[in-house]
Chain A
Amino acid sequence: MMGRQEPKMRISERALTVWKLYGWISAAVTLLIGAGLTTLTLIFDWSVWFIIGSAIALILEIVLFVFVLPTLKWKRWRYEVREEEIELQHGIFIVTRTLVPMVRVQHVETEQGPILRKYRLATVSISTAATLHQIPALDINEADALRDSISALARVAEDDV
Chain B
Amino acid sequence: MSEEKRLHPITAVMNALKTLKEAFIPFVILIFLNRGERESFLDYLPFLVMGAMVILFLFLGVIKWWRFKYWVEEDELKIEQGLFVKKKRYIPFERIQSLNYTEGVLHRPLKLVKVKVETAGSSSTLESEAELTAITKVEADDLNRMISAAKKRLKEEHSVVPEGEEIVEQEPDEQVLYKMSPKDLVVMATTSGGAGVVIGGILIFLSQFGEIIPYEAVFQELIDFVQAGFLLAGILAVVVFFVAWLIAVGLTFLRYAHFTVKLVDKDIVITRGLLEKKQTTVPLKRIQGITFDQNIMREPFGYTSVTIESAGGSVLEKDSNAIRLLPMIREKETYAILDEILPEYHWKTEFTGAPKRALKRYIFWKVLFSLVLIVPVSYFFFPLGLISLILIPLAVILGWMQYKTAGWSASHDQLTLKYRGISKQIVYLKKKRIQSVEWTQTFFQHKGDVATLHATIKSYTSGSHSSIAHVAKEDADLVMDWYSPEAEVKKVHEPIMTNPELEGQ
Contacts and interface: CB of A to CB of B under 8 A. Distances in A.
A48 interface: no
13 contacts: A1-B474, A1-B481, A82-B486, A84-B485, A96-B439, A97-B439, A98-B437, A129-B311, A131-B436, A133-B436, A157-B432, A159-B433, A161-B288
B440 A91 contact: yes
Listed residue (A91, A101, A103, A130) with the most chain B CB atoms within 10 angstroms of its CB: A130
A161 B462 CA distance: 12
A99 interface: yes
B486 A84 contact: yes
A99 B446 contact: no
B459 interface: yes
A146 interface: no
Interface string A59-83: 0000000000000000000000011
A144 interface: no
Shortest beta-carbon contacts, A-B, top 6: A130-B463, A84-B485, A3-B477, A130-B458, A129-B458, A130-B435
B285 interface: yes
Contact of B464 (A84, A101, A130): A130
Contacts of A103: 485
Contact of B456 (A83, A96, A130): A130
Contacts of A99: 436-438, 480, 483-484
A85 B485 contact: yes
B286 interface: yes
B290 to A, nearest CB: 16
Interface of B: 121, 285-286, 288, 311, 432-443, 446, 456-459, 462-464, 473-474, 477-478, 480-481, 483-487
A78 B487 CA distance: 19
A131 B446 contact: no
B462 A95 contact: no
Given A102-B485, A103-B485, 4 more contacts: A3-B477, A4-B480, A91-B440, A97-B438
B477 A4 contact: yes
A145 B187 CA distance: 60
A3 B442 CA distance: 17
A41 interface: no
A95 B441 contact: yes
Given A3-B477, A4-B481, A100-B435, A94 B441 contact: yes
Nearest to B475: A3
Contact of A131 (B285, B286, B456, B481): B456
Contacts of A2: 474
Given A130-B463, A159-B433, A161-B311, A96 B474 contact: no
B485 A98 contact: no
A155 B129 CA distance: 27
A45 interface: no
Nearest to A103: B485
A131 B485 CA distance: 18
A160 B432 CA distance: 9
B459 to A, nearest CB: 7
Contact of B443 (A93, A159, A161): A93
Given A1-B478, A83-B486, A96-B440, A130 B459 contact: yes
A128 interface: yes
B481 to A, nearest CB: 6
Given A130-B435, A130-B456, A94 B442 contact: yes
A104 interface: yes
Contacts of A131: 435-436, 456, 463
Contact of A3 (B121, B432, B456, B473): B473
A97 B480 contact: yes
Interface string A118-160: 0000000000111101000000000000000000000001011
A140 to B, nearest CB: 26
Contacts of B311: 129, 160-161
Listed residue (A2, A93, A102, A133) with the most chain B CB atoms within 10 angstroms of its CB: A93
A94 B445 CA distance: 9
Contacts of B483: 99, 101
Contact of A129 (B435, B446, B487): B435
A116 B473 CA distance: 36
A2 B443 CA distance: 20
Contacts of A82: 486
Contacts of B459: 130
A160 B286 contact: yes
Contact of A160 (B285, B464, B478): B285
Nearest to B486: A84
Contacts of A101: 483-485
A99 B483 CA distance: 8
